[in-house]
A and B are shown apart, each in its own frame.
Chain A
Amino acid sequence: QVTLRESGPALVKPTETLTLTCTFSGFSLSTSLMCVSWIRQPPGKALEWLARIDWEDDKYYSTSLKTRLTISKDTSKNQVVLTMTNMDPVDTATYYCARSSGSYLGGTLDYWGQGTLVTVSS
């Protein structure tokens, strides 16, 4: 059974760095073709893809946010970490991690975490 769970602070201040952890089970990021992505959704708005890391440790970032994002994995802990620097109130959103499999970037996000709401406010 595949599960993913996001964890991190519910509240961050403007200009701070956000660190989110995705802890998963039911698959391994050392297995060929396995990938984990981060996606966010501001309240009442659309989904926005942020970043992806794959089994070979290849990393992809949203063009518009790449200067602020870093994604990494700890295969032994079954965790993927996303950091986002210089947080702003417009970054207030529910942040999801999700699994995909396949060699192409836009593979189906077949399992999602429940999401974690991050509010950016002073």
Chain B
Amino acid sequence: NFMLTQPHSVSESPGKTVTISCTRSSGSIASNYVQWYQQRPGSSPTTVIYEDTQRPSGVPDRFSGSIDSSSNSASLTISGLKTEDEADYYCQSYDSSNVVFGGGTKLTVL
């Protein structure tokens, strides 16, 4: 089984840009899609990025996803930070037999 490693926490000021990384331990990050979920306290997760770079309808274009094969990692970038973006963010990917979530990153907008 592979693991997805995320920073435990990140913080940034409103209006700024933040990037959250998600590094795959084994197997190519590019071989299987990566999804990103946002979870606010007391709520169920919602999708902010799917299939590496796609944004569901209703998600602002301030959210973007990317893949970097050289570092075997995926990234979620949020620009023009708003206080409402403060939440936990989880990456998710898979292989032929397992679905894996990252450990989650707590984003603080201060």
CB contact list, A40-61 vs B, under 8 A: 46-49, 52, 60
Hey, which chain B residues are within 8 Å of A46, CB to CB? 90, 101-104
Given the interface contacts A106-B33, A108-B50, A109-B37, does A49 sit within 8 Å of B100 by beta carbon?
yes
Q: Please name the residue on chain A nearest to B90 by beta carbon.
A: A47
Q: Please name the residue on chain A nearest to B103 by beta carbon.
A: A46
- Residue B51, interface by CB 8 Å: yes
Interface size on B, residues (CB 8 A): 27
Q: Please name the residue on chain B nearest to A4 by beta carbon.
A: B44
CB contact list, B89-108 vs A, under 8 A: 90, 92-104
| Cβ–Cβ contact B104 & A109, under 8 A | no
- Residue B14, interface by CB 8 Å: no
Q: Given the complex of chains A and B, what is the CA–CA distance between A96 and B99 in angstroms?
A: 15
| Cβ–Cβ contact B44 & A96, under 8 A | yes
Pick the contact of A63 from B1, B32, B92 — CB < 8 Å?
B1
- Residue B35, interface by CB 8 Å: yes
Among B95, B99, B103, B104, chain A packs the most CB atoms within 10 A around the CB of B99
Q: Please name the residue on chain A nearest to B88 by beta carbon.
A: A46
| Cβ–Cβ contact B47 & A106, under 8 A | no
Q: Given the complex of chains A and B, what is the CA–CA distance between A39 and B104 in angstroms?
A: 14
CB contact list, B20-58 vs A, under 8 A: 32-33, 35, 37, 39, 44-47, 50-51, 56
Main secondary structure of the interface of A (DSSP, over half): loop
Q: Given the complex of chains A and B, what is the CA–CA distance between A37 and B44 in angstroms?
A: 14
Pick the contact of B45 from A60, A104, A105, A109 — CB < 8 Å?
A109
Pick the contact of A49 from B32, B39, B96, B98 — CB < 8 Å?
B98
Q: Tell me how far the C-beta of B53 lies from the nearest C-beta in chain A, rounded to whole angstroms.
A: 12
B residues sitting closer than 8 Å to A (CB atoms) are: 1, 32-33, 35, 37, 39, 44-47, 50-51, 56, 90, 92-104
A residues sitting closer than 8 Å to B (CB atoms) are: 37, 39, 46-49, 52, 60, 62-64, 96, 104-106, 108-110, 112-115
